[in-house]
């Protein structure tokens, strides 16, 4: 369970084949960025909003969430 960040599925107005997630700071409920599918990388990536600073723990939480989304066994099932 992430301690510093919250990952919330985002449903855009335009229909997409893949899911998108907003990344929020739990303390202030500020949006920090998005996690979305990147066709060039062929996996989910994190896209930061603006000039935001991250500590090691926050980056670790983002990495863990991306790992769960990009797990090869999970991707074969979708």
Task: Name which of 20-24, 55-59, 71-75 the model is least confident about.
Answer: 71-75
51: confidence class by pLDDT, cuts 50, 70, 90: confident
- Integer angstrom CA distances of residue 46 from 36, 38, 43, 69: 7, 9, 10, 11
Question: Degrees (nearest 5) of the Cα angle 34, 45, 69?
Answer: 95
The fraction of the chain above a pLDDT of 70, given in percent, is 92
Q: What average pLDDT does this structure show over 16-40?
A: 94
pLDDT of residue 52: 87
Confidence of residue 77 (pLDDT cuts 50, 70, 90): low
């Amino acid at each position: 369970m992430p301690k510093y960040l919250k990952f919330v599925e985002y449903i855009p107005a335009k229909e997409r084949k893949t899911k998108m997630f907003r990344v929020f700071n739990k303390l202030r409920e500020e949006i920090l960025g998005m996690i979305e599918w990147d066709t060039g990388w062929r996996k989910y990536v994190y896209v930061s909003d603006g000039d935001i600073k991250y500590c090691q723990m926050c980056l670790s939480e983002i990495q863990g969430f991306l790992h769960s989304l990009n797990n090869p066994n999970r991707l074969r099932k979708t």
